[in-house]
Amino acid sequence: MLDHTEYVEQAYLFQLLRERIVEQVPLQELLEQVQSELLVTTRLPMAIDYLLTELKHSGVMSPAMLRLGHYFTSFQTFLIVEAESERGQFDMRVALQVLEMEAKFRSESATPQGSFLYQFEALSRNGLSYDRGLQAIAADPIYDDAWRQWIGEVHKQVGFIDLADMIFLRSEEYLRQVETQGGSLTDKPAALFGAKEGRIAQANRRKDPFYLFSALQRHLDYPRVPRAVPPDNTKELLPQMMRRMERLESRIKMLEEEARGGIDITKFYGPPT
């Protein structure tokens, strides 16, 4: 894990890129602009130098992020890879917003539980690959060996077993219920989630997983995954209405002229060629 200031500057970097990329400025120029705004006491400006070099040579920055695995997490690199993919299904603005919120969460009070649920929801909401995405999540330094083993089980069972069931079975609430019923805990794996997560997961079994994520965010203040904002077409409505009004006015004038005795077509004549 990096120092607190590194995540603060990362969140600021992703925020600036997200706000300025809508101006149709190339990413290379944006990185050059924001580089001077970052704290030189962090390692982020040096990382941006490396990203700029890769951008100038190949036009993408994900290969550089992959080689900077000691600074950028595998999940951060995975999101940029998907955003730079030729398929174009994952918007770069959404990727930057997801990275911004994750970096803010890490700079404040990141926990393995909150990080996993945020990253898994990001995969679900944006239709990203569970195969590559869960592999990237498992390589995150915030998880220990027990967490990596469980994420590997989720990787194998996702789509077959409900996520709420998998969370409930690795929660303190499940162990409490087993002990209350007189069962033995010797053969049970250690809990990865708390009692509150377990109760919320049990209440959301056989339901849409997004209900589970929403309940955890409401009750445990886990970070919310940004959603893609549909384009605002209201700015184009007024010009379209004006053009339609002009066409209607011209048609009404022609109808009035025809009612008065016919249309004078001589005014439409052009000069002889």
- Kindly state whether residues 206 and 115 are assigned to the same domain: yes
Provide the sign of the torsion angle of the four alpha carbons 5, 125, 77, 75, taken in this order. positive
Instruction: Pull the structure tokens for residue 100.
Output: 């911004």
pLDDT, average across residues 168-195: 90
Average pLDDT over the chain reads 88
Length of the chain: 273
Give the model confidence (pLDDT) of 190-218 as tens digits.
Answer: 899 999 999 999 999 888 889 999 999 99
Q: Are 178 and 168 in contact (CB under 8 A)?
A: no
Where b means 16+ CB within 10 Å and e means fewer, 98-113 reads: bbbbbbbbbbeebebb
Q: Are 167 and 193 in contact (CB under 8 A)?
A: yes
Interatomic CA distance for residues 16 and 103, integer angstroms = 13
pTM score of the predicted model: 0.80
pLDDT, average across residues 153-165: 91
How much is the pLDDT for 143?
A: 94
Which of 79, 110, 141 is a domain's end point? 110
Give the model confidence (pLDDT) of 42-60 as tens digits.
Answer: 999 999 999 998 888 888 8
- Kindly state whether residues 101 and 115 are assigned to the same domain: no
Domains: count for the chain: 2
As to burial, measured by CB atoms within 10 angstroms (0-12 exposed, 13-18 middle, 19+ buried), residue 72 is buried
- Kindly state whether residues 90 and 161 are assigned to the same domain: no
Q: Read off the CATH number of the domain in which 78 is found.
A: 1.20.81
- Kindly state whether residues 100 and 45 are assigned to the same domain: yes
Interatomic CA distance for residues 253 and 256, integer angstroms = 5
pLDDT, average across residues 160-172: 93
HSE on the CB side for 139, CA within 13 Å? 17
- Kindly state whether residues 88 and 120 are assigned to the same domain: no
Q: Is residue 5 part of a domain?
A: yes
Looking up tokens 């990001």 gives 122
Q: Which phi and psi angles does 161 have, rounded to 5°? A: -120, 140
Lowest mean pLDDT among 130-134, 226-230, 232-236: 232-236
Which of 226, 242, 260 is a domain's end point? 226
Q: Is residue 235 part of a domain?
A: no
Interatomic CA distance for residues 48 and 34, integer angstroms = 9
Q: Is the pLDDT of residue 258 over 90?
A: no
- Kindly state whether residues 38 and 84 are assigned to the same domain: yes
- Kindly state whether residues 76 and 46 are assigned to the same domain: yes
How much is the pLDDT for 204?
A: 93
Which of 64, 95, 110 is a domain's end point? 110
Q: Is residue 263 part of a domain?
A: no
Instruction: Pull the structure tokens for residue 189.
Output: 């794996």
The residue segments making up the domain with residue 78 are: 1-110
Q: Is residue 129 part of a domain?
A: yes
